Amino acid sequence: MAGQSGSSAAALQGGRGRGVVISDDWPGYSLDLFTYPQHYYGDLDYVLIPHGIIVDRTERLAKDIMQDIGYNDIVVLCVLKGGYKFCADLVEHIKNLSRNSERFISMKVDFVRLKSYRNDQSMQDMQIIGGDDLSKLTGKNVLIVEDVIGTVRTMKALLNNIEKFKPKMIKVASLLVKRISLPDRYRPDYYGFEIPDLFVVGYALDYNEYFRDLNHICVINDRGKAKYRV
- Coil, helix or strand for 68? helix
Nearest-Å Rg of the Cα atoms of the chain is: 18
DSSP class of residue 13 equals P
pLDDT, tens digit, for every residue of 132-181? 577 888 999 999 999 999 877 778 888 988 899 999 999 999 999 998 86
pLDDT above 80 (res 121): no
CB of 75 closer than 8 Å to CB of 108: yes
What is the value of pTM for the model shown? 0.84
Higher pLDDT, 44 or 11: 44
**For a pLDDT cut of 70, what percent of the chain falls above it?**
82
Level-2 CATH architecture, domain 10-227: 3-Layer(aba) Sandwich (3.40)
DSSP class of residue 23 equals P
